[in-house]
Structure 1
Amino acid sequence: MARLVYQPQSPLNATLAVSKRWATSLGIWGVGAGTAALFLLSVTPLVKREFLVKVPVVGSYYEDKTPASDKPF
């Protein structure tokens, strides 16, 4: 029969072990939440002007090409 031996673990090692275990999952959820928030806020002019226009590949899609004479304000 195998014998189990208790090996104490320092709080720092325990914290690092838990952090390593959850880092990938939390990273994936964070990217998903950020993408969802950006998608939901993409209709606001501030997000379009300050963030989405500056994205290298899709920035031209979000540029406002409406002439100034056609804007009401």
Structure 2
Amino acid sequence: MTVDSAAQDPSRSALVQRLAQESFAFDGTARDPERNCWLVVHRHQHGCLPSEYDIREVDEALYLEVLEARRSG
């Protein structure tokens, strides 16, 4: 049985909710939830938005949690 990591850790849950809310700030440039959630997770992990050729990876589990929180919120 898989347990959602946000459900286990209240601070993780708060982070996921905060990032999901921050993703809406990018809706002005592109109303694409997948892209916008990826942008906020990238900024959270690396301290900046990605440049054109930025190939640094992001935490996929965190990205999926943020995307789900945005869609269900």
**Fold match, TM over 0.5?**
no
- Is the radius of gyration larger for structure 1 or structure 2? 1
Task: Say which structure, 1 or 2, has more relative contact order (CA 8 Å, 6+ apart).
Answer: 2
Q: TM-score, normalised by structure 1?
A: 0.29
The structure with the largest helix share of the pair is: 2
